[in-house]
Structure 1
Amino acid sequence: ETRVAERTEQLEEINRELDTFAYSVSHDLRAPLRAMQGFAELLLDKSHSETERVEYLKRILISVHNMDRLIQDLLAYSRLSRQEIMLQTVSLDKVVRDAAQQLELASGGKNYQLEIAGKLPEVVGHHAVLVQVVLNLLTNAVKFVPKGVTPKLRIWSEPAADYCRLIVQDNGIGIAPQHQERIFKIFERLNGLDSYPGTGIGLAIVRKAVNRLGGRIGVESHEGEGSRFWVELPRADAGLPR
């Protein structure tokens, strides 16, 4: 009976995700298409100046980029649901430093401060999946700060009896308590695209990945006071799960 109940819960979760995906296809994926169509029609109007036409082309390219990012995130989320993940001993120290290196390459020269406090331990997980988890958390930490504020990120770990907690702290805009569960759902955004662009899938990918690794994720935050995301994973010295 327990296995039947678990399977039923999994199927219900899949159905909820399918409903959300259907909404995204009809809304999120169509939004950049509508923008491209609108600016393409303006380009056909020969009454516009050369400067205006160049601006319309730039807007079309932005819409193409946004749509490509959304599709890439959808594919990443889908792969996590289906791919086989072999658990192994992983160095969190190397995971975080690899993610930090990727963040530097992807940040486009944006100024931020990142502190990795102390040597991080080994856990049971998957290196590539954990790099994606940490990179997504760091990317959000750099993005969601008040205008004019330099992002300050700090990463450290806290050991417990049979697991390790990895913590990513920032000085960003924070998250009100009533929204702290919602942010991990697919396609959820708390802020307008004009203020903070994004697909609304990044934290859903993080939760899906951590769940696949047998871990847990959560956040401690208050609006306007920054956030502290934590990921709990089995300690390597506690042995691989059977």
Structure 2
Amino acid sequence: MGSSPGKILVVDDTEANRYVLVRLLARVGYEVSEAADGAQALERLADKPDVIVLDINLPDIKGTDLAHRIKSDTETASIMILNMSASFTRTQDRIEALDRGADGFLTQPIDPPEFLSTVKSLIRIRRAEEAVRQSNRDLTHFAFTASHDLQEPLRMVASYLALLQRRAGDKLNDREREYIGYAIDGAARMSSMVRDLLALATADTANLSTERIDAAGIVADALGNLKLKISEEHAAITVGDMPAIQADRVLLSQVFQNLISNGVKFQSDHIPEIHISATREGSFQVFRIRDNGIGIPAESLDRIFGIFQRLHGVDQYPGSGIGLSLCKRIVERHGGAIGVESVVGTGSTFWFSIPT
């Protein structure tokens, strides 16, 4: 006997509707479970369905709200949701359902061939997305392993080069000392890149340890880590009122630290001035880090969050080109987004959103 083409959870408070849908799906080989309300549906998520056929008008929760709840949880966000309704049939109803997390919408009474084709299409999409996620997991694991295993050899290279420089310094001519200096600098840059790669891989794989916390404390952590750099550059940092948010303190502190550090670093001859603010926008808290730095050309704004993307040579502004990519991964794992507005010669405002 062949394996099931997929697992389907049918959620409908009308028994007759569940009976018809379950028979249709089982007849073509799907493994089907059912629930009569939202509470039962949440319990059935333990069965790990591929698709949820979800009635909008449930007795204990609106189907669109249940879809949003499922899609907001990283453990269940990949499940495809097909909303169905006999009463909510306006275009605006369909728009609301799709905006709240549904991957498809059908009106009842259903057309059986259309229904089965829609379910088949959603499973095909889920399989393709899972293949991409698995590929990303494999790449992340490789990056983590490679960067972790490279750390010790790099430490040895840097240590022995420094030892050679100290012990043989007087016996070397200027050119030889220059060559050793290049090697030490190269080892230091590679070590920094490996550390950033390890942080990037960890950001993808580490469990989010979220808690309700005042964002002012997270900003304070970041500023504490940058205390020496801020002092050396005589940077002026101001912080507005900060809200309480649900977040991983360590990871989000890394986001603030990277963005503030960039504001301090990417300057010409100005004293760095950085302002950190937050505003409530819909269901998100949006944080902004505004600086008076060199700015970013408009044609480069779309690519700066990619890994290893650099706009300047390491001689001008040191760094690995991983920091903004790391920020993007962390923010997206929290369910938010990140972006930037910038004017060359005036400065940049990086923003990121975190769900409330």
TM range, smaller chain: 0.7 to 0.9
Which one has more relative contact order, counting CA pairs under 8 Å at least 6 apart? 1
- How far is 1:13 from its partner? 5.7
Match for residue 67 of structure 2? none
Match for residue 213 of structure 2? 90
Match for residue 181 of structure 1? 302
CA-to-partner distance for each residue in 1:19-65, whole Å, 9 max, x for gaps? x99xxxxxxxx9xx9xx99xx8xx89x6725xx65555544433332
RMSD: 3.2
SS in 1 for 2:326: helix
Counterparts of residues 71-90 of structure 1 (less than 5 Å):
71-90=194-213
Counterparts of residues 194-233 of structure 1 (less than 5 Å):
194-233=315-354
- Point out where structure 2 has 5 or more consecutive residues left out of the alignment: 1-122, 145-153
Judged with a 3 Å threshold, the aligned counterparts in structure 2 of structure 1 residues 47 and 80 are, in CA distance, closer, same or farther, namely closer
- Point out where structure 1 has 5 or more consecutive residues left out of the alignment: 22-29, 236-242
Count of aligned residue pairs for this structure pair: 217
Give the Cα–Cα distance (whole angstroms) in 1 for the partners of residues 340 and 130 of structure 2. Answer: 27
Match of 1:61 among 164, 184, 191: 184
- 1:88 aligned partner, one-letter code: E
Match for residue 173 of structure 2? 48
Counterparts of residues 7-22 of structure 1 (less than 5 Å):
7-10=130-133
- How far is 1:179 from its partner? 1.2
Give the Cα–Cα distance (whole angstroms) in 2 for the partners of residues 9 and 164 of structure 1. Answer: 30
- 1:138 aligned partner, one-letter code: I
Match for residue 280 of structure 2? 159
Match for residue 96 of structure 2? none
Contact 2:334 2:355 (C-alpha < 8 Å) held by counterparts: no
Give the Cα–Cα distance (whole angstroms) in 2 for the partners of residues 101 and 157 of structure 1. Answer: 19
- 2:184 aligned partner, one-letter code: L
Percent identity at matched positions?
Answer: 31
Give the Cα–Cα distance (whole angstroms) in 2 for the partners of residues 108 and 11 of structure 1. Answer: 44
Match for residue 26 of structure 1? none
Match for residue 25 of structure 1? none
Q: What's the TM-score once normalised by structure 1's chain length?
A: 0.77
CA-to-partner distance for each residue in 1:136-182, whole Å, 9 max, x for gaps? 00111111111x21111000001122110010000111112221121
Judged with a 3 Å threshold, the aligned counterparts in structure 2 of structure 1 residues 76 and 55 are, in CA distance, closer, same or farther, namely same
Contact 2:235 2:273 (C-alpha < 8 Å) held by counterparts: yes
Matched, 1:171 2:292: yes
Q: What's the TM-score once normalised by structure 2's chain length?
A: 0.54
Match for residue 139 of structure 1? 261
Judged with a 3 Å threshold, the aligned counterparts in structure 2 of structure 1 residues 125 and 12 are, in CA distance, closer, same or farther, namely same
Judged with a 3 Å threshold, the aligned counterparts in structure 2 of structure 1 residues 15 and 145 are, in CA distance, closer, same or farther, namely farther
Give the Cα–Cα distance (whole angstroms) in 2 for the partners of residues 7 and 151 of structure 1. Answer: 44
Counterparts of residues 117-132 of structure 1 (less than 5 Å):
117=240, 119-132=241-254
Match for residue 191 of structure 1? 312
Give the Cα–Cα distance (whole angstroms) in 1 for the partners of residues 323 and 335 of structure 2. Answer: 19
SS in 2 for 1:220: strand
Contact 2:140 2:201 (C-alpha < 8 Å) held by counterparts: no
Give the Cα–Cα distance (whole angstroms) in 2 for the partners of residues 181 and 13 of structure 1. Answer: 21
